Amino acid sequence: MFKNVSLGRYYDTGSVLHNTDPRVKIVLYLIYLIITFMINTWAGLLSLALITVLQGVAAKMPPKIMISSVRPVILLALFIFALNAFTQRQGTPVFQKGIIMVTDEGLKTAFFMSLRLIFLIMSTSILLTLTTTPLKISDALEKMFSPLSVIKFPVHEMAMMMSIALRFIPTLIDETDKIMKAQASRGADYDTGNIISRVKGYITVLIPLFISSFKRAEELATAMDARCYRGGEGRTKLNPLKLTGRDAFVALIMLIGAGLILAADFLVK
């Protein structure tokens, strides 16, 4: 069930995006995040889809990995689709039964919002999780927020928590898969019955998962304490982050792509 989920997994292909400074990728991700919510036309969305695919090609990502990166949000995308399709009252009705009505404008909005979410998650995976290790993301965030240390903000601790959270996502996914298989071998059924029966079935997964998660957290805390971890004070980096000309070139190309998306969206309006 979870073996093809790539959320939180690092997939090394040695591409130019993998070797780009993580600070550059975080800034570019924020820019594309803003652009994703700014576009309001199909031309803009099509341009975003094209640029996202080109990002995947530049990262040398197999299509299977790119598709699996959005698999965790398929249900959310379907919910957004249904919410927009059944609540939008403007336009010509294409289906109506009682108080339920679906219009052509509602369907267009539903498709647009769902695709926007999918390409947003795909771009997030390509620019961050698939091409950047959790350790590099942690180092980049710590470096970017380091000025806040002047006001005693725990920058290192925040970056460490985010790094641990990203690192443990694949671990928890694998753990959930193992628990479900173990419970299924004991007769647990997750696919039949009504919604209440299925929820009760998943309780047999959640309880062992919580216990396992707390156990892993305790083991990690013990290991960090045994190694005399006392926070970021006085610590140095084995591989300090340095901006290079290659990083500037990648940033320029990505900014040109962002500009093309905005131009396509603006010209069609």
Structure tokens at 67: 């598709």
- The tens digit of pLDDT for each residue in 96-107 reads 777 777 888 888
**What's residue 7's pLDDT?**
53
Output the 3-class SS for 163-229. Answer: HHHHHHHHHHHHHHHHHHHHHHHCCCCCCCCCHHHHHHHHHHHHHHHHHHHHHHHHHHHHHHHHCCC
Query: What is the C-alpha to C-alpha distance for residues 186 and 193, in angstroms, rounded to an integer?
Result: 17
Query: What is the C-alpha to C-alpha distance for residues 11 and 2, in angstroms, rounded to an integer?
Result: 16
For residue 30, list its beta bridge partners.
none
Kindly state the DSSP code that residue 150 receives in the 8-state scheme: G
pTM (predicted TM-score): 0.75
- The tens digit of pLDDT for each residue in 138-156 reads 888 888 888 887 887 888 7
